[in-house]
Amino acid sequence: MEVSNLTKDYLNKLFSSGKRFDGRKLEDYRDVEVSVDVSNKAEGSARVKLGKTEVVVGVKLGIGEPYPDSPDKGNLMCTGELLLLASPRFEAGPPGFQAIELGRLLDRAIRESGMIDLSKLVITPGEKVWTIYLDIYPINDDGNLLDAANIGAIVALKNAKMPSLDKDGKIDYENRKGGLPLSKEIAPLSVSFYKLGETIIVDPTREEEEACETRVTFGISKWNKHYMVNACQKAGQNSFTEEEMNKILDLLPKEFEELNKRLKNHL
């Protein structure tokens, strides 16, 4: 939503002096709270509060055909349902760009990290595989929904249990067995950087996010002490300079480790 030029100018001056409304530094995340198993219908679920931003993520499993280009792998589908109660910015109707972007960025970050061994979701090669449905439901969008949703997605996947197949090959949701075929070492996270004027910040509130002119989001993971960028997408009409991108890339491991530290009991 549009913010006034007065508010934008004030935030720009505040950021330029290294300050924010809530007392955080420019590179600090808000407090994170995580709850698991918030749904008794999903195979795995999580509720994440990042400051006042709140999101619920559920994991469901079904059986379907593999994608034509990967007959030896299971499927992953990520969707975002931007509920009207979460923000005055969201509108009723078919999924808009923000909902599509949310699902695609999470899909890319998770898929390309190798967190899920999709080859172990094959039931009959080329014919029948497990499909993981990852559904994101914002409850309150007070800024930085992408990073909050990513945390919820990873925690929900980590806590999900596989349903069983009965003798007829149908899904028995009442009898859940072990967890999903996940890597114990890889837990991809999303880190978004926002720019206002010449200042870069992370984890903006809604007012800060609306004032910012551009954003770049990285899906990042760590394996064998090496950091891996699994996804990257820019939004907004303004650009980042080479110097700003180098600064962001220097900050990226630090922000990733900070989030990992806060989420160590869940990842």
pLDDT-based confidence at residue 1 (cuts at 50, 70, 90): low
pLDDT-based confidence at residue 95 (cuts at 50, 70, 90): confident
Is position 214 within any domain? yes
Is position 51 within any domain? yes
Span 198-210, pLDDT tens digits:
999 999 999 999 9
Is position 10 within any domain? yes
Other CB atoms within 10 A of residue 4 CB: 9
pLDDT-based confidence at residue 4 (cuts at 50, 70, 90): confident
In this structure, what CATH number is given to the domain that contains residue 186?
3.30.230.70
Domain range spanning residue 202? 5-262
Is position 123 within any domain? yes
| pLDDT, mean of residues 91-111 | 91
**CB hemisphere CA count around 256 (13 angstroms):** 23
Span 199-249, pLDDT tens digits:
999 999 999 999 999 999 999 999 888 999 999 999 998 999 999 999 999
Q: pLDDT at position 52, please?
A: 97
Is position 221 within any domain? yes
Q: pLDDT at position 218, please?
A: 97
Q: pLDDT at position 54, please?
A: 98
Helix (H, G, I), strand (E, B) or coil at 87: coil
Query: What is the overall mean pLDDT for the chain?
Result: 94
Number of domains in the chain: 1
Distance CA 147, CA 51 (A): 12
Span 33-76, pLDDT tens digits:
999 999 989 999 999 999 999 999 999 999 999 999 999 999 99
Q: pLDDT at position 238, please?
A: 92
Span 73-94, pLDDT tens digits:
999 999 999 989 899 888 888 8
Is position 166 within any domain? yes
Distance CA 260, CA 81 (A): 26
Name which of 133, 19, 149, 150 is nearest 78 in CA terms.
Answer: 133
Helix (H) or strand (E) holding 155: helix 145-159
Q: pLDDT at position 73, please?
A: 96
Q: pLDDT at position 167, please?
A: 84
Is position 16 within any domain? yes
Q: pLDDT at position 96, please?
A: 86
Is position 267 within any domain? no
Is the pLDDT at 2 greater than 80? The verdict is no
Span 151-196, pLDDT tens digits:
999 999 999 999 998 888 889 888 888 999 999 999 999 999 999 9
Q: Give 164-231 as a 3 state SS string.
A: EECCCCCEEEEEEEEECCECCCCCCEEEEEEEECCEEEECCCHHHHHHCCEEEEEEEEEECCEEEEEE
